[in-house]
A and B are shown apart, each in its own frame.
Chain A
């Protein structure tokens, strides 16, 4: 109960802080829509991904995972200035649990990710996406789990590195292969064997494929099970790593 209250306090503070900077919010919402509107129509013409509805069922899940990766996954950038100005140390001297300090910030990323996901799915439906409500809800749960994992990891990395100059190049060079190997833009079923094998090492691939199945209305598939297990495991491990980093002494 205490932990929940503390998490909500940190979350509330973070969200208020975010809302004072409205331009960032607008940009954060517009960018993913651009992917759908400016890139999606190309895919519907390429073919090989099935009919019109299938193209959106393939592409929208990719955009959702893309948002988790490039949104939540980069949130550690923002904590570095808080480390430098002593805010994190000040919070670490309070009796608030380290888990709450982490999850309050992760919560903000999840709130942003949820808002973006709703917009993406709504715009997708306008453009021709057909998916069941149950499938969409289940997909959003997976996206939230993935976002939680990536945000925790990113915050831990920010706290550990304490330097934007190290964080930015490290993350951008990691995020690109992760994105390409997840089959976000085009499904890995198109890949040659070596690329397919390589991409199976990438946990994000399983999440994308699970969401694709869910959007297509196939709920009881191996891909959905794998994607769910991977998301849950990833979230559990990354939150543990994040909490440890917040608890850890730093000299």
Chain B
């Protein structure tokens, strides 16, 4: 069953200098139980697409079914079945943590008793137990983010949208957050659709990645497959002093290697099937009596994928970026 089905979804904004095509007719599907990520630079159209799918913004064209409800014909049905955590969160800084959670649960039609049980269990899962009597505004960035997520989950939605969930978090909070997101799917069977401009985040979390740029989806695949598209692992090998020329000859003689550069006693090159190549390489070096000092193989990262697809590197993400 598909949790999200999108056909030709587009959004155009009227700007002083004419129309801006924020999203130019995208198509995709997300199956139940998947974690799917929107990856792309700022302004790619990720947030606009998310806001359309969460009923906050009316599409200018296209159709979508979200969690079994038609986006245009039954937005209330969509709202009932989804949880949405906006980029900047949505908790009132002047309100108590417990009050925000209770209000949210009640707005989704839960009884007080049901809401209490659910808030207790969510607070335990997300480490919010001791923060309930605190003002939202007094929480740290990581605590605040966990509260935002609790607010998005309190009504047990089968589908959760997270817009750049880890923006502005320190590394520990980030990896905790990833842990929580994985648990949503593994333990609760939820479908998660998130947007990010962190390549490592998409790589670590997502079953499937949609790479978005300038309002269109450039490519859609698993992180593994995407990385396989960037041919060759990066191999770095250091050899005993004075043998680098000898080693270079060996490398060039091996099939499936390219892009060789040398610096000092170090050689760098890319290899199509590195595991096979490495065995051949070490044997050939031994035959030539070249002593390798260290060998390192790096799998291509999504950074490389992004560079290949868009012709530019993902801009460095800054904390608090919009």
Contact = CB atoms under 8 A, between A and B. Distances in A.
Nearest to B76: A95
Interface residues of A, number: 22
Interface stretch (B77-85, B185-193, B205-213): B77-85
Contact of B90 (A2, A6, A86, A251): A86
A248 to B, nearest CB: 9
Interface string A29-41: 0000000000000
Nearest to A248: B58
Interface stretch (B99-107, B173-181, B215-223, B285-293): B99-107
Interface string A61-74: 00000000000000
Contact of B99 (A13, A86, A95, A251): A13
A194 interface: no
B94 to A, nearest CB: 8
A13 B103 CA distance: 7
A195 B13 CA distance: 45
A95 B57 contact: no
Range of interface residues on chain B? 20 to 34
Contacts of B43: none
B199 interface: no
A4 B129 CA distance: 32
Q: Which has the most chain B C-beta neighbours within 10 Å: A16, A85, A93?
A: A93
Given A85-B89, A85-B93, A86-B90, 9 more contacts: A2-B109, A10-B107, A86-B86, A90-B151, A94-B108, A95-B76, A95-B79, A95-B108, A249-B56
Interface of B: 13, 48, 51, 54-58, 76, 79-80, 82, 84, 86, 88-95, 99, 103-104, 106-109, 151
Return the 7 tightest CB-CB contacts between A and B, nearest first: A90-B90, A86-B90, A95-B79, A94-B107, A95-B80, A93-B84, A87-B92
